[in-house]
Amino acid sequence: MAEAAARRLKVGVLISGRGSNLKALLDACAAPGFPAEIVTVIANRPGAGGLEHARAAGVAAEVIDHKAFDGKPAFETAVTAALERAGVELLCLAGFMRVVSAAFVQHWHGRMINVHPSLLPLFPGLDTHERALAAGVKLHGCSVHFVTEEVDGGPIIGQAAVPVLPGDDPARLAARVLGVEHRLYPACLRLVAEGRVRLAGGKAEISGDFDGSGQLLNPAL
Ligand code: GRF
């Protein structure tokens, strides 16, 4: 008799726009043996391109337009209700451009993660690539972190770095960072789904073996 399929963590994804990180998560979840499945995708904007990625993957997708609600609490109540109807256990924000309320953070405490396009705690908030270029940093990148009340301030699960190169403009740098976002977010989702990430003392601790040999020098020495 065939073995029962391993249990997969049920994931909901919130998006606002193009959804390339959503696509990376969908692709990862489609691989045999991946320990998570995306059960629903919610966009707060009717035109969000990422909805098409969900539909193409056969995943339920719906629009909950924040503009149709009288205030953030009502909008977030509707979002949580939809996520819970779908049985979501972990919520992934993927280019979701609404700051969530303290009540929403509390409700999803330890069960909500986000990808941010900088090496936090540098450059929380918007326009991260412009700010990295203005600061003259030589390494930039992205972070996957738990969502807390402090915007982009929660415990960091993983980070990926890219070099800042001569002649970079925000668009070129953003494209380089996006490439590593698409690798880092699924890798961090896997860690969480495998139960290898534990919140302790305001940090995310990861259990198990690591290859800690990676180094990125810019300029290379
Ligand atoms: C990404 O750069 C992500 O880090 C940020 O918003 C962007 C969303 O891009 N939070 P996409 O919608 O996933 O393509």
- Structure confidence by residue, pLDDT tens digits, 95-144: 999 999 999 999 999 999 999 999 999 999 999 999 999 999 999 999 99
Q: Does ligand 1 lie within 6 Å of residue 116's CB atom? A: yes
Best CA proximity match to 107, nearest among 135, 131, 84, 124: 84
Q: How far is the CA of 117 from the centre of ligand 1 (A)?
A: 7
Q: How far is the CA of 4 from the centre of ligand 1 (A)?
A: 36
User: Can you give the pLDDT at residue 5?
Assistant: 65
Ligand 1, atom 9: nearest CA belongs to which residue?
Answer: 95
Residue-wise pLDDT for 136-185, tens only, equals: 999 999 999 999 999 999 999 999 999 999 999 999 999 999 999 999 99
Q: Does ligand 1 lie within 6 Å of residue 141's CB atom? A: no
Taking each helix axis from N to C terminus, what angle separates 20-30 and 170-193, rounded to the nearest 10 degrees? Answer: 40
Mean pLDDT of the chain: 96
- The pTM assigned to this predicted structure is 0.96
**DSSP SS3 for 4:** coil
Q: Which amino acid is at 35?
A: P
Query: What is the rounded CA–CA span in Å between residue 96 and residue 13?
Result: 9
Tell me, yes or no, if 116 is annotated catalytic: yes
User: Can you give the pLDDT at residue 1?
Assistant: 47
Q: How far is the CA of 94 from the centre of ligand 1 (A)?
A: 6
CATH 3.40.50.170: does it fit domain 9-197?
Answer: yes
* Atom of ligand 1 lying closest to residue 94 CA: 13
Query: What is the rounded CA–CA span in Å between residue 23 and residue 94?
Result: 10
Query: What is the rounded CA–CA span in Å between residue 141 and residue 120?
Result: 9
Catalytic option among 53, 66, 109, 116 = 116
Q: Does ligand 1 lie within 6 Å of residue 95's CB atom? A: yes
Query: What is the rounded CA–CA span in Å between residue 14 and residue 92?
Result: 6
